[in-house]
Structure 1
Amino acid sequence: MSDFSDSTPEIRWYIAHTYAGYENKVKANLEKIIENRSLQNVITDVKIPVRIITEEPKEDAVSAADEAKAEDESDITAESDKKKEPKIIEEKIFPSYVFVKMIMNDETWHVVRNIRGVTGFVGPGSRPVPLTDEEVANIGELEEQTVINLSYKVGDSVKITAGFLKDAVGKVAEISDDKKKIMVIASMFGRDMPVELGSDEVTLLEG
């Protein structure tokens, strides 16, 4: 372990490496130690950077058997009109890493390093290296990004779920880079026409 007695007592962000799957446990245990030992003035924040991923739902096909069992068509229509909510997932941007904002000294080094699941700090040899201001800013930008995982791709058949073309069927012709807008070729006025829609305004038709 390096001697930190000659270092400037400055609060900086450092990165602790953990075993795979231990990130949340390390964060929870470290926060508990900080509270129990009143270390809030030297270890001020613990983070696991995550991004939000939105997975668009797939359209459930109504089978012939289900239709036969239905008492009337209104039940089927009411069921088909129910729009599924997109699935929201948190994804770790840097798996196996926990970010700690702290004053690095012998005491705080031992506190973090001795938590079960921590294998060490990021840095050459045994001396942790703090993140630069630019690196901290870049991580913040990554956290603010929302990733959209669509259930469909170009060429897939989709059902439009909103707007004046609701319930119409078309094919995906184009998907924007940010996956927020799509172009669908749908039948209007007796001909195929391109329609720009929000990516959440269609669902994939399976089968």
Structure 2
Amino acid sequence: MSEIESSKAWYVLHTYSGYENKVKQNLESRAASMKMEDNILQVLIPEQETVEEKDGKTKTAMQKTFPGYVLVEMIMSDEAWYIVRNTPGVTGFVGSHGAGSKPSPLLPEEVDQILRSMGINPRKVDMNVEVGEVIKIVGGAFAGMEGTVTELEREKGKIKASVEMFGRETNAELDYNQISKINE
């Protein structure tokens, strides 16, 4: 991992509730106009798809997971920090103690969980498993068992495997980080 790669992190911005989209738009345009795209990398509004039934009709809508908060992936520098915290609609960084102190980034596990809940594969995992291959399950409810890969969902970082449990085949959906190759 390069030094730049390791110094980038996700931070949480507090915004006026209802202004999340405007903050995202403002921040992206400020990063572009101030030539800071190398430091301010991504801006995300955590959302989940919800299903509502109204008047007998089913409707899906995107609902903000954390209203009033926006995530930003950035390389923390004095200039990037200044640009982000002075973006209209941003009230501050979460994890900053004020008085000019830099904020604490989110832990990688926290970021992974948020991205996964949005249907985004947090890390591209390059595990060369194939359909039909027997794998060892190292995490989750099926940890310690072996399974046969039945389907690969590389974009989502998931695999489906058939696991024998109580004398019958059971289908399991697993993250790549929950499996390992048997011959490794």
Q: Corresponding residue for 1:47?
A: 44
TM-score by length of 2: 0.57
Deviation at 1:22, TM superposition (A): 1.4
Identity %: 46
Which of the residues 74, 95, 117 maps onto 1:142? 117
CA drift at 1:140: 1.6
1:31 aligned residue: 28
- Secondary structure of the residue aligned to 1:17 is strand
Relative to structure 1, the CA distance from residue 9 to residue 135 in structure 2 (aligned partners, 3 Å threshold; closer, same or farther) is closer
Give the equivalent residue in structure 1 for 2:107. 132
Unaligned runs of 5+ in 2: 121-184
CA distance in 1, matches of 2:82, 2:96: 17
Supply the AA of the counterpart residue of 1:112.
V
Asked if 1:117 is matched to 2:79, the reply is no
Q: CA deviation at 1:124?
A: 4.3
The equivalent of 1:18 in structure 2 is 15
> Does structure 2 conserve the Cα–Cα contact (< 8 Å) formed by 1:9 and 1:104?
no
Aligned equivalents of 2:60 and 2:35: distance in 1? 35
Structure 2 distance, partners of 1:24, 1:97, is 10
Separation in 1, partners of 2:21, 2:65: 13
What TM-score do the two structures reach when normalised by structure 1? 0.51
Higher relative contact order by CA 8 Å / sep ≥ 6: 1 or 2? 1
Number of residue pairs the alignment of both structures matches? 113
Residue in structure 1 matched with residue 62 of structure 2 by the alignment: 90
Question: Which structure has the greater CA radius of gyration?
Answer: 1
Q: CA RMSD in A?
A: 2.1
Structure 2 SS opposite 1:144? coil
Aligned partners of 1:141 and 1:87: how far apart in 2? 23
Residue type at the aligned position of 2:17: A
